[in-house]
Amino acid sequence: MIVLGAFAITIYVTRLYYIYPRTDDAYVRANVVGIAAHVSGPIVQMPIVDNQHVSQGDLLFVVDPRPYRSALDRAEAELALTNLQIKGLQDTIRSAKARQMQLAAELAYDKQYLERIEPLLKRHFVTANDVFNARSRVAADEAAVASARSEVSRAEKDLGQYGDINARRKAAEAAVYEAKLNVDYCYVRAPFDAYVTNLNITVGQYANEGREVLSLVDNRTWYVLANFRENFLGHIRPGMKATVYLLSYPNRRFSGRVQGVAWALYQNNGASVEGLPQVEQTLNWVRLSQRFPVRIVLQNSDPAFPFRMGATAVVTIQGDDSEWVHGRGR
């Protein structure tokens, strides 16, 4: 009976061991985002301190905005000057069109005059020289009208108007917009709720465009990376519940959901070295199980028990395949 009881208990414990996999090789993680400035310049303000919590929109640091404000003033002045130039070109176009209409009217009059006197030449009421002079005035008028038409076309092209959009004004407005953006970029703010970490700079540090100035630990989503042996993976599915204990809060239980199981591990054995596969010598007496990281998103955050990246965790997967709803979990 004792043997049978021990055997039954062994089967029961083994079943629980696989149905509810457990590991203490787990650590709390969060996404860390490097914050960089969009513009370059010395840092003139830094109201934050290391390890401080910041909310979305809080000011992190300020790059010296004076050169960028100067550029904005210059761009706004260029826009005002462009508007004056556009007005001047519009006046030029109106003047050129009026001149074209005047010359066209003179051409029409001289054509009518020529048409009246040409029949009179046969009756000797006018001389050939009179007809020649009339024809010359018509030709001169036609050339003047063509020249005026070219002046109008050139002035319209200089205006840069395409439908409802004036290219000159649009370019100047774009320059103003870019200059305003650069001024705004001088004031770097937190993109989300986070913790400042490893702050090693202060006022006077030169910030280079696109180069990381400080790092933020994203406080929106915390998760645990739990390394499970590969023989447990058949009992772990996305959406399953998980119970998490942290060594920093031994009497507090946290809950989570399995987000996914890693699909790949890096292995030195089989990696290419100088284009050739590296295969290590091994004695196959003992086969060690690989450990695959399982990501578990923590759900019941509590300000009284804040999570810290790197904290050691103990994870137990709750449930089995029957509790998993495909694609979503429960």
Note the pLDDT tens digit of each residue in 195-204.
Answer: 999 898 999 9
Tell me the C-alpha distance between 32 and 196, whole Å.
Answer: 10
Is the model's pLDDT at 323 over the cut of 50?
A: no
> What is the distance of C-alpha 196 from the center of its chain?
22
The per-residue DSSP string of 178-216 comes to HHHHHHHHTEEE-SSSEEEES----TTPEEPTTSEEEEE
Q: What separation in angstroms does the CA of 54 have from each of 216, 239, 259, 302, 320?
A: 9, 31, 27, 17, 40
pLDDT bracket for residue 324 (50, 70, 90): very low
- For the residues 96-100, what does the mean pLDDT come to? 78
Res. 330: pLDDT tops 70: no
Token pair 């929109």 is found at 57
User: Can you state the angle between helices 128-159 and 66-122, rounded to 10 degrees?
Assistant: 160
Hey, what CATH topology would domain 67-182 get? Helix Hairpins (1.10.287)
pLDDT band at 116 (very low <50, low <70, confident <90, very high): confident
At the topology level, CATH places domain 21-63+197-323 in Elongation Factor Tu (Ef-tu); domain 3 (2.40.30)
Q: Domain residues of the chain, as ranges?
A: 21-63+197-323, 67-182
Quote the pLDDT of residue 328: 41
Q: State the chain's mean pLDDT as an integer.
A: 84
More confident call, 183 vs 128? 183
Q: What is the pLDDT of residues 66-76, one digit of tens each?
A: 999 999 999 99
pLDDT value, residue 285: 61
Write out pLDDT tens, residues 137-151. Answer: 878 778 877 877 887
What pLDDT is stored for residue 17 in this prediction?
56
Give the C-alpha separation, 310 to 75, whole Å. 49
Task: Indicate yes or no: pTM above 0.75.
Answer: no
Per-residue pLDDT, 93: 74
Question: Residue 7 belongs to what H/E stretch?
Answer: helix 2-19
Under the banding of pLDDT at 50, 70 and 90, the label for residue 329 is very low
Q: Say yes or no to pLDDT of 216 above 90.
A: yes
Residue 228: partners with Cβ closer than 8 Å, 6 or more residues away: 21, 23, 236, 291, 292, 294, 317
